[in-house]
Structure 1
Amino acid sequence: MAGNPRNGRPYRTLCVQQRALGLPCWLCGRDIAYEITGPDAGRHPLAFTLDHYLPLSRGGDLLDPANARSAHRRCNSARGNRLTTAQPQASRRW
Structure 2
Amino acid sequence: MAGNPRNGRPYRRLTAQQRALGLPCWWCGGEIAYWITGPEAGRHPASFTLDHAVPLSRGGDLLDPANARSAHRRCNSARGNRTDAARQPVRASRRW
- TM-score, with structure 2 as normaliser: 0.87
* Amino acid corresponding to residue 61 of structure 1 in structure 2: D
Q: Deviations over 1:30-83 (max 9, x none)?
A: 100000000000000000000000000000000000000000000000000011
Which residue does 2:56 correspond to in 1?
Answer: 56
Who is 1:31 aligned against? 31
- State the TM-score, normalized to the length of structure 1: 0.89
Q: Distance in 1 between matches of 2:88 and 2:68?
A: 17
Residue 66 (structure 2) aligns with: 66
Equivalent residue number for residue 92 of structure 1: none
Tell me the equivalent position of 2:46.
46
Q: Secondary structure at the match of 1:49?
A: strand
For structure 1, list consecutive stretches of 5 or more residues without a partner in the other structure. 89-94
- The answer to whether structure 1 residue 82 and structure 2 residue 82 are counterparts is yes
Sequence identity percentage: 82
Q: How many residues align?
A: 88
Q: 2:18 — aligned with what?
A: 18
Unaligned residue ranges in structure 2 (runs of 5+): 90-96
